[in-house]
Amino acid sequence: MQPVRLASEKLIDVIVIACPGQGSQTPGFLSDWIEDADSRAFLEAASEASGVDLLRHGTESDADTIRATEIAQPLIVAASILSWRALAARADLSQVGVAGHSVGEFAAAAAAQVMSETDAMRLVGVRGRAMAEAAAAEQTGMSAVVGGVEADVLAAIEAAGLTPANRNGGGQIVAAGSLAGLASLGENAPRGARVIQLQVAGAFHTSYMASAVPVLAETAATTEVSNPTHKLWSNADGGLVTEGTSFRDSLVSQIANPVRWDACMDSFQAAGITGLIELTPAGALTGIAKRGLKGIPAVAVKTPADLEAAVQLLTDAA
């Protein structure tokens, strides 16, 4: 695959930095990161901005605690920004592209300088609390459908009265909605597909989250934004973001609308992607990339020890 020519006329490979979404966190995953004084200081500031004790939850809290929406979302975004900062201190990131999956778009917004890190953390704190409240209003959930023919999977989701909330690519679609509908889908799985119940609090990215939208919109309206300094793809439709204000609006509306990570990966390929780096807490998006971006090298930055491999991928591309 040929590298693309940027405006600077410098030929480089296209490296995408991916920011993961909810569900990637594991107990104690920030323990190694806080050994660095600058990282600890950032997490302290991010805790104040988000209203969540990120140091405690990232190092001491158990799996059930950090699964809570109001904790998980700020924790994940802070971790991604933290690892972006650490990578930027070791390598030139001026030419990379950026994208976020679901709540990961807030970390992507900070990385692409659409908004400040402080504002990204402030907004995601509001988002997490608003979505947790919406999820508590009615018992709903999500299940991953892995494998099968896409058309058959979408038809089965619709027949169960559910929404394809995350179309992740690589043979994975996440259905969301009522618990009865999810049970029906599990009992009538499409041919060749597995239905896996996800440990989440509600039907995210569906109409069940509608009450959270105006809550975030009110806070977002007072947030200063700029146009992105990096290539930035939106998981609303996989398109490139050109205006900060439109992306801010998308961050609000995405709460109740599906995530199209499959469209993002299509756009990465169209742009000539030759490598993907997933920020902390990593693993989910690199796993999808193995199936949806076959042959593209990927690095999951789970701990500071993984930064060396990420730098090497960037160095090889320069």
* Backbone phi, psi, residue 240, to 5°: -75, 140
Prediction pTM value: 0.93
Distance separating alpha carbons of residues 143 and 186, to the nearest angstrom: 8
Beta partners for 4?
A: 12
CA distances from 307 to 28, 73, 188, 232, 236 (A): 18, 23, 43, 22, 29
Residue 24 has pLDDT above 90, yes or no: no
Q: What is the pLDDT of residue 139?
A: 94
Span 245-287, pLDDT tens digits: 999 999 999 999 999 999 999 999 999 999 999 999 999 999 9
CA angle 223/92/316 to nearest 5° reads: 135
Task: Compute the distance between CA of residue 293 and CA of residue 296 in angstroms, rounded to an integer.
Answer: 6
H or E segment at 251? Answer: helix 244-253
Question: Maximum distance among all alpha carbons in the chain?
Answer: 56
Instruction: Name the residue type at position 197.
Output: Q
pLDDT-derived band at 13 (thresholds 50, 70, 90) equals low
126 within 8 A of 213, measured Cβ to Cβ: no
Structural domains of the chain in order of their starting residue, each with its CATH number: 13-136+211-317 (3.40.366.10), 140-197 (3.30.70.250)
d(CA 270, CA 295): 15
Catalogue the active-site residues.
Answer: 102, 205
Above pLDDT 90, what percent of the chain?
92
How buried is 109 (Cβ within 10 angstroms: 0-12 exposed, 13-18 middle, 19+ buried)?
buried
Q: What is the pLDDT of residues 226-246, one digit of tens each?
A: 999 999 999 999 999 999 999
What is the band of 317 on the pLDDT scale with cuts at 50, 70, 90? confident
Give the pLDDT score at 318.
Answer: 72
- Rounded Cα–Cα distance for residues 154 and 151 (Å): 5
Q: Quick check: 39 pLDDT over 70? A: yes
Q: Taking residues 61-65, report their average pLDDT.
A: 95
